[in-house]
Amino acid sequence: MRRLQVGKVKLFDMKLSKWTFIAVLTLAGLSAQAAPVHGWLNWRGPNQNGTSTEKGLPEKIDPQHPLWKADLPGQSTSVIANGKLYIIGYLGDGPDLQEGVTCFDAETGKQLWQHNYDDFLSDTIYLRYATSSPTVDPETGNVYIQGTQGILAAFTADGKALWNHSLMESYGRLTFPNSRTAIPVVDGDLVITRGITANWGAQGPAGDRFYAFDKNNGDLVWSADPKERPRDNSFSHPYLGWLDGKRVFYAATGDGSIFCANARTGDGIWRIPLAKAGINATILVHNNDKIISIYGTPYEPGQMVALKIPHVHPTNAAAGPIVIERSQTELWSNDLSTSTSSPILVGDRIYVVTEKGDLSTVDAVTGKVLGRLKIGIEERNSSPMYADGKLYVPMLDDPGSKEAEGGGEAGAHGAFYVIRPNDQGGEILTHAVLDGRCFGTPTAYNGKVYIQTTRHLYCFGKAGNNDSLPQTEAEAWPKPGPATQLQIIPSEVLLKPMDKVSFRVRSLDVNGLTVEEIKDFTQIKWTPFIPPTAKVRASMNATFTAEGELVAAQASTASAGAFQASLGNLKGYMRGRVLPGLPIKQDFESIQLSEMTTNQIEQATPFAYPPLPWIGARFKFEVREKDGNKSLTKTIDNKFFQRATVFMGDPNMKNYTIEADVMSEGNKRKMSDVGIINQRYLIVLKGNEQKLEINSNLERLRVPAGSEPSNFKWSPNIWYHLKSRVDTAADGSTTVRAKAWKKAEAEPDKWILDVNHKTGHQNGCPGLFGFAPQDQRVFIDNISVTASSPLQASGNN
């Protein structure tokens, strides 16, 4: 996708591993060498299992006398590299709340730098921000984060912005009220993240997908799809390992499975269905031969399960992943259950805090529950951390906090335990009450322990240099075999007419390991490619030069498609879209209604798929005949798709006016919602509420939110016209203007809504919106996106 300049978007922080994870690999193989970055670099720590060899950590925790404390609320976990601590938090309130990444001096707590970002078009409720954590690259020290709203961003250790992507606008990433957000993981030259996306083409249907980007420049390298419809979003962290010569990752998914994929190509290898809901807890790998997973929800108890790692592989990439029944691989199970807290592994012992607050000790070989220690009544997100012979265990709430603090707001204090584990449950060394609830996981570094609450970031331990971690050597990778395939980077692009883009081409062996970088592009043949399963048989309006540069045509029509690269018998693929700049016009009249509906709620009706290059439109909208014209029509046959957000431009776009004709089916008692999106603001006609509204988050920026000026009486089965523009002031604030009127009438002079936003969105894709929860279709036609002209005194622009 196109690389973006950092805008005001919100981010997550990732937990970084304490040891250096894996240094970047050379193309032909990797010789062991000391990695230059030292610390706890990702959420799961140096061993990917919540443990560290750090020594000299505190047994006693005194919340009244921390080594230092910072006022940065959140639900994140700190990562530390070379004396710098990185964490996600949030600041401000209401429409001006921002989420961001902050860097502190890990010894003193001095703030070194900070990047804050707005929330936009998200479903986040309450203060469910900063649920992700940063991750640090062990080779460069660069920092990667993913925000609640889907901004994936990279920074240097000193806070210089390197690149970012709006995953929502570029790949159709969805948001959810629980706000669970993935933590990126670095593997060699890749940074891997995940999310439920409804993209375009074959990735149009919603799926819990993984994406790998070049860590240095943000180019998309691959995407991975378990190929099963998700039931929930999951932030289960990928576990990296090796399987039969392949670099792989294992992760729990939103469809309730354990998924294994090739970490160099994204090809799915196998999937084991486990649960009826999505699984959020991160898996463990024990003795390199078994995966241990735990699942459940607050309302339905689950299980802890051990599965023998299958050694099966698809015959080709298109055939994967292979679905394996649980009964074929299960080694043991027990009745422990969590929804979002993850277990940790210390030798042959598993430690996990269950949903109802029991610290449980499990034999990893047999699955026998050896001991339980009641330490709370509920656990959410937080996981234990083990180091120096002790468990550091946060609990969401401290049940005795009112008494301990002399009264106060219920649920405002979390518990933090230091426990010496044993097979009987454990010996409590410290039970501390922290100011704020505990959702994050502790981190150990240089004789200190760090924990964030919904009010503060705490540091406990000894001042000074107490580093007991050995410098670790990078993992040696196997040498590749003969080349069998090509990998094209970037694997997906977005261009404007006459744009150009260059590619890197690698040859890979059968396991996905890099054999060489192809330098002579004159050897490569590029041809348009239409997948045999494509529902829309289309090509990208672009051509390759002899030097391997892709050039978009001058035509102003949107297009999308794929290309195949051939080098002898080796083949590789990329796909892309060409979207025109301003102006954008679409009346759908040139689209042929060549398909027929087959659902059970209506007679067979002619339709066409929506424009292929649009993000998020597939299966949620169709082009149909309406009132003698063709229009974009909201589908109503699948309840999972009753709400749809569509993006039809570049996330960098700004200073434009968008307008469209809109209509809802219905009657006096029920109608649907329909709207347009301008620079990350939704302008929507609310059917049942009979309002015109501007929002970007329903709890934080929703104007007028029920006040009298928002009333806008509109009728079903009548065409209306929506229009909006966003104007940005020199101080970064924005004014969002909107109006609506009957299409058959003249445009009103005045804007109906005129909303100021202090921390305004500086850019964003134009888009469309439809919400049909009561089986009343909405229709959109005559879409126009043009550069905004200077405001006239009358306001009629």
Tokens of 123: 């479903």
Give the span between the Cα atoms of 685 and 671, in whole angstroms: 10
Q: CA dist 383 to 94, 249, 338, 392, Å?
A: 30, 21, 11, 9
Q: What is the pLDDT of residue 133?
A: 98
Which whole number is the average pLDDT over 547-551?
93
Give the residue from 662, 645, 575 showing the smallest Cα distance to 613. Answer: 575
Give the span between the Cα atoms of 698 and 707, in whole angstroms: 14
Under the banding of pLDDT at 50, 70 and 90, the label for residue 403 is: very low
Q: What is the pLDDT of residue 25?
A: 34
pLDDT tens digit sequence for 75-123: 999 999 999 999 999 999 999 999 999 999 999 999 999 999 999 999 9
Give the span between the Cα atoms of 455 and 399, in whole angstroms: 18
Give the span between the Cα atoms of 683 and 662, in whole angstroms: 12
Amino acid letter, 685: L
Residue written as tokens 């102003």? 556
Q: How long, in residues, is the chain?
A: 797
Q: What is the pLDDT of residue 17?
A: 34
Residue 745, number of CB atoms within 10 A of its CB: 9
- Is 149:175 a contact under the CB 8 Å cutoff? yes
Under the banding of pLDDT at 50, 70 and 90, the label for residue 404 is: very low
Residue 407 pLDDT > 90: no
Question: Sign of the CA dihedral 444, 448, 451, 452?
Answer: negative
Under the banding of pLDDT at 50, 70 and 90, the label for residue 710 is: low
Q: CA dist 727 to 630, 656, 748, 788, Å?
A: 32, 9, 19, 9
Which class for 79: exposed (0-12), middle (13-18), buried (19 or more C-beta within 10 A)?
buried
Give the span between the Cα atoms of 482 and 514, in whole angstroms: 10
The rounded radius of gyration (Å) of the Cα atoms in the chain is 27
Give the span between the Cα atoms of 698 and 121, in whole angstroms: 8
Tokens of 610: 């929506």
| Residues facing residue 463 across a β-bridge | none
DSSP H or E run through 405: helix 401-405
SS in 3 state form for 337-362?
A: CCCCCCCEEECCEEEEECCCCEEEEE
- Count how many Cα atoms sit within 13 Å of the Cα of residue 444 in the half-sphere of its side chain: 31
CA angle 76, 293, 264 (to 5 degrees): 75
Amino acid letter, 572: G
